[in-house]
Amino acid sequence: MKLKNIKLIVELTKAKIEILKLKADDYTWQCHVDSNTKDMLEKTLKDIDVQIESMRKEND
Amino acid sequence: MIKTNIKMRVTPEQSKKVQKICFENGATWRDGSQKLYSGANFMYLHGGDILYHGASNRIFENGDEQEIDADLFIRTNGTCEEELEGSEREEVSKSDVTYQNNSGERLEITKEYKNNFEEFGVEIPDNIDMYSYELKSKDKEGNIIGFVDGFATVWNKDGICKNTFAGIGSYHLTVIAKGWYEDANNIGKMLIKENSSLLLSFLRIEDKKLVALDLRNGREIVFVDKYSVRPATREEIEKLIIE
């Protein structure tokens, strides 16, 4: 796997962790994140998963 | 009834206790469940009895909810209202008390189950539980006799408590004005708790909570709702002055 791809996967994973941490903060997620932002972050999570999966397959 | 629209900093142990109290009183997580959660640094209880756990200190600091000490929530089973326990009250009422005031005068207080304040010209509100103390020494120096749920406490006309029985000898107690809780100069002044005639001395504001001294026993009480006490009015105190 190219170093560039590895770095990108790491960065995507870090971004994913940040979103998951925000979701795990029940109060912040439920009371301080509006529904549009929630939808956008949920979609971003899926996009990250798709992107990481495709990069892994590329390098198989 | 448990207090709502509040936030608390919690340890894992406190968190479990807070959740149990909330669940026993019908509160749930947002999804309707009541499973114990142990990973939170902060707990929130909103109206409608919805419980949240939180992790962000910044969000906690900026939240509009009233901050409550978790130990107070646990100790009061969620009501956040401090009450003197019956056993402690009984312990005080069983013993006769003799003390010496700043002038060297000996005053005796003995328990007596009757309203004997009238002989001092003191009017007792109807809502006071009428077991009281008889003051053996009639003080003619303009002293103030306070009564706290039937317990007498004595201050001189300068507002200095003379009653070592209450354990507050050095606190100066005077009538204070509106906005008292925002002014550090009001420390040590006299407050009254709404609907109970409980007399208190204002000590400090700590973590946005009022800390006052219970004049019955010298113990500090933390009031989560500073508006549940107010300054005693001059009329209320003047009622207690011996002519």
pLDDT at residue B174 in the model = 57
Joined tokens for residue A13: 């994973």
**What is the distance in angstroms between the Cα of A30 and the nearest Cα belonging to chain B?**
8
Cα dist from B33 to B16, B20, B61, whole Å: 15, 12, 27
**Torsion, Cα of A36, A41, A42, A48 (10° steps):** 150
- Contacts B53 to A, Cβ<8 Å: 25-27
pLDDT at residue A43 in the model = 95
Joined tokens for residue B215: 């004049």
Nearest to A25 among B29, B46, B54 (CB): B54
In sequence order, what DSSP letters do the residues of B115-184 get, joined into one string? ---GGGT----TTS---EEEESS---SS-EEEEETTEEEEE-TTSBB--GGGT-TT-B-----TTGGG-G
* Chain B touched by A46 (CB under 8 Å): no
Q: What's the rounded mean pLDDT across residues A14-35?
A: 89
* Chain B touched by A25 (CB under 8 Å): yes
What letter does residue B202 receive in the DSSP assignment? E
- CB distance B53–A26 less than 8 Å? yes
Examine residue A2 and state whether it is found in any structural domain, yes or no.
no
Dist. CA B220–CA B212, nearest whole Å:
6
Q: Is the pLDDT of residue A23 over 80?
A: yes
Examine residue A23 and state whether it is found in any structural domain, yes or no.
yes
- CB distance B54–A30 less than 8 Å? no
Examine residue A6 and state whether it is found in any structural domain, yes or no.
no
Pairing of strands B132-135, B106-112: antiparallel
pLDDT at residue B180 in the model = 64
pLDDT at residue B216 in the model = 57
Dist. CA B155–CA B192, nearest whole Å:
15
Q: What's the rounded mean pLDDT across residues A7-24?
A: 90
- CB distance A27–B54 less than 8 Å? yes
Task: Note every long-range contact of B198-204, with CB atoms under 8 Å and residues 24 or more positions apart, other chains counting.
Answer: B198/B148, B198/B149, B199/B146, B199/B147, B199/B148, B199/B153, B199/B232, B200/B229, B201/B168, B201/B171, B201/B173, B202/B176
Mean per-residue pLDDT pooled into runs of 10, chain B (243 residues) = 88 89 88 83 86 86 85 88 48 34 42 37 43 38 48 53 43 56 67 66 73 68 68 63 43
pLDDT at residue A37 in the model = 92
Q: Total structural domains in chain A?
A: 1
Q: What is the domain extent for residue A25?
A: 12-58
pLDDT at residue B95 in the model = 30
Examine residue A36 and state whether it is found in any structural domain, yes or no.
yes
* Chain B touched by A31 (CB under 8 Å): yes
Examine residue A1 and state whether it is found in any structural domain, yes or no.
no
* Chain B touched by A28 (CB under 8 Å): yes
Nearest partner of B169 among B157, B155, B148, judged by Cα: B155
pTM: 0.45
pLDDT at residue B131 in the model = 35
Count chain A–chain B contacts defined by CB atoms under 8 A: 30
pLDDT at residue B5 in the model = 87
Nearest chain A residue (CA) to B7: A27
Per domain, the residue ranges of chain B are 6-75, 87-243
pLDDT at residue B195 in the model = 60
- CB distance B29–A27 less than 8 Å? no
Examine residue A19 and state whether it is found in any structural domain, yes or no.
yes
- Contacts A31 to B, Cβ<8 Å: 44, 46, 52
Q: Which residues pair with B155 in a beta bridge?
A: B144, B161
